Each structure stands twice: as structure tokens, then as C-alpha cells.
Copies of this chain bind each other. A is one copy, B any other.
Amino acid sequence: MEHVAQRAGVSLMTVSRALREPSLVAQPTRDRIQDAITELGYVGSAFAVQLASGRTRLVAVLLPDLRNPAFAVEMQGLAEGLGEGLELIVSGVRGSGTRHDQVARALLGYKPAALVIHGGRHSHEMRELLVRSNVPIVELGSLVARPINIAVGYSNRAAGRVATEHLLQRGYRTIGFVSQSRKDNSRADDRWLGFREALRAAGITPRPELELETSLGYERGAEALKELLCREPKIDAVFFTGDGWALGALFYCQRENISVPGRVAIMGFDDQELASQTVPSLTSIQVPRYRMGWEAGTLLRSQLDGKAPERKRIDLGFKLVHRQTT
């Protein structure tokens, strides 16, 4: 910045001003400075700015898994809700526990304008750290009961229950359940709670052998269905807590000439764009992914501008989309 100042024949201070508040600098001076900047290819140091001013233009995001397209949509919503002038610093953490905490610490080190966390529960120390950090926290996705600041999401438990009730209502009685590891993934656990709840309410005794945990991937869905059909041939519906598995299972049925929903009904979760396109089209739970990100973004933006309350819990709900596989 000093070089620029010299070249433009002004003091360092004037350059700084020309960059932040151009209106305070005389037009000709401003032009000279601008020229110097382009000639020298000057790019200011965001770090120094933030250190000196205390203001930050970073929003930190902690995601369970970068691969999941659902999160990508949320990010786009977040980016667009926040608007210009804020950068996103994104970390994906696979697995859970300590690594999650570590990364959160590292992100907090950037004193971000806000920290957006997708995915339910934090350890006690984590929560403590988050609260004390004084950084606005957005909990995205699962709607936590007691948000630290802002929570935007929907109830995974209610969604799990509604999905299951739908299957029961359509007359299915022997229902399988496929999810990620419930231990590592609170969303999976919540959906499972809803699943069990609905079964019990209908007077059906849950059968653990019909509940499968697997990893992400279309093929895992096919395998899961195969396994379930083998364990209990009388199974008449499967609730996959992710569209990926559900679609994989659906294509498996097509290959094997298993009639859907005649022989077995398939229920997905997340209503990916593809769900409406397949033949038969997939019944699923629609979650407002983009909107979640966007809502969090705009709320954050207005809070950063000092216009919004510090605590808020926004339930964006979900929607059962009944299509042909159930």
C-alpha cells in the first residue's frame, strides 16, 4: 500500500481512504491512486484489514460431507442470501466427534462474521466454545430444540414419522428402514425415532432386523434392498432416509423385474430433482434446501447489519411428495 501511495504522490492514509470511502477523497487524487493500483497490480491484505478494523468478511461453514449435493444447494442458497462482500470458508468433516471440534476451532480462529453449522448435536465443550466465542452461530438443517443463536431447518423426527405414517396409511405393514450410522449421524437418528414412533402408534412392533445402516451411494441402496428382501421376504415397503439409496433400489428392481410398488414400495427422502423424473417416480420428503441456506443467509446479513434479533428458530417444514413408488 505504501508503494501505491508513493507512486500516486500521496500518503498511505489517503490510499486507504480511497479504497474504503472514495467519497472522502478528491476525484483527481482518486484517479491517480487507481492508476497506481492497476500499474502495480496491488491487492490489499484482507488479514491486515481485519486485524486493524476488527471487522470480518468471512462466513465460516462446517458441513458433514462436501460430496452431498444437498449441502451444495444449501451453500448456494447461503451464498446468495448473504449477498456480496462476504466470503465463504467451507470445511467438510467426515466422521464425527473430535475432528469436528478441531475444525470448528480452526474456523473460529478466523473470527468469522458468523459460523454456519449443518447437522445436529455438538459435544458439551463444543457448545461451550461456540457460546463463548461470541460469533453468531447458525445451526442449519435439523431444527435443534435450544438454538445457540439462530436455527433454521425442519424436524427430522417429524419428517421420519410422516413418511412412515404415509406408508402405513397406504396399507404397508412390514416396513424396512435404511439410514446412515445412527450413532454418527444425528439426522439419521432423528428420522429413525420418527419411524419407530409411527410404527408404535400403529400398534406394530418394531423389528430391528429390518433396520439397516449403510454408507452413501446408489449401489448401497440396491444392496440394502436385496439384503432386506432376503432377511424378510414378506417385506412390503422400505423407507430409505436418502433419495440416493431409494433410486439405487428402484433401478435394482427394474433390473430384477421386481414390481414397484406392487411387490415392494419405496420411499425416499430429500426429493432430489431426479425423484420426479424416474419411471415410476419416487415418493419422497421434500426439504427446502436452497431456502434453508437462503433464509440463514439473509437473516445473518440483517443481523450483521444490526437489524435482526439474536435468537431465532425458523421451522421451514417439509412436504411429503406422493408419487408412484408407494
Contact = CB atoms under 8 A, between A and B. Distances in A.
Copies in the complex: 2
Contact of A274 (B43, B57, B111, B218): B218
B47 A51 contact: yes
A309 interface: no
Interface in A68-82: 68-69, 71-73, 75-76, 79
Interface residues of A, number: 55
14 contacts: A46-B111, A57-B106, A65-B76, A66-B79, A67-B73, A69-B69, A69-B72, A75-B92, A76-B92, A87-B110, A89-B89, A90-B90, A218-B273, A222-B277
B274 A255 contact: no
A91 B57 CA distance: 13
Contacts of A274: 218, 247, 274
A254 to B, nearest CB: 4
**Chain A interface, DSSP helix/strand/loop, else mixed:** helix
- Please name the 7 residue pairs, one residue from A and one from B, whose CB atoms are nearest each other, closest first: A46-B109, A41-B132, A254-B279, A69-B69, A251-B277, A66-B76, A47-B47
Contacts of A222: 277
A133 B277 contact: no
Contacts of A147: none
A92 B79 contact: yes
Interface in A107-134: 107-111, 128-129, 132-133
A277 B41 contact: no
Interface string A170-183: 00000000000000
A57 to B, nearest CB: 8
A108 B43 contact: yes
